[in-house]
Amino acid sequence: MCIRDRSTGDSLGAFLDGVGVPKVTAHDAHVLPAMLNSEHDVWAFIETPKGVLQVEEVCASGLYQYVAMGLNDLSMELQLPLSYHNQAIANALREKGSTSPPRDQQLFNRRMPLLHAMSRVVMAARAYGVHPIDGVFNDPSDPNGFRQECLEALSMGFSGKTLIHPSQIDIVQEILTPSKMEEDWARKGVEAIEASEGGVAVVDGKMVEDLHAKMAVRILSHLDL
């Protein structure tokens, strides 16, 4: 939601969980506090090359609780070509004799030019305790493609993914919520480390230590959300 002054946010009060700020740069942290209610979480949307280059300052400002990728706008500003993921373009290319790559390769190709920006946002977010959120998947009629992107988000270290359709909710929760296997490992890991005298233990035949205990606690905390 766009808020032009503090009074608007205050009047909405509890009706808002958070406020999204589009096309964030480092400068915004100097002017936004006067426009925001301190009770609302603030989402920074990284949608421009300047935003990517300044994301460390954005996350270090302490203003934002979430930093989200705005990949559609970023793709446009980077002047990226239309990709195989656009089915109409893929069909036109096939009519001209071009061979379409496999589906998973299409998805990878579509986001490959953005991987540096995405990794930089995750790195900055984790360095300053901000939650990194992957960008939207534009085709709600393609659950398999959406599932693939959720798996990519998980593998890259994102905490979540922005959505454009209710049909995407179950898939993103399934993939980004710790599995029963992860939960079982986390509980056993915490118990084993707590019971050990030297901070090192064995779980399921593998060594675990303090860093694994921190991972386990993080997994369990996600289940309590």
Three-class DSSP labels, 108-125 = HHHHHHHHHHHHHHHHHH
Cα 157–162–163 angle (5° rounding)?
Answer: 135
Looking at 45-179, list the stretches that DSSP marks H as alpha helix, in order from N- to C-terminal side: 49-53, 55-60, 71-77, 87-95, 103-111, 115-127, 143-156, 169-176
pTM over 0.85: no
Q: Of all residues in the chain, what percent carry a pLDDT higher than 70? A: 67
Give the tens place of pLDDT for each residue, 81-119.
765 445 555 555 556 565 555 544 455 567 888 999 999
pLDDT tier for residue 40 given thresholds of 50, 70 and 90: confident
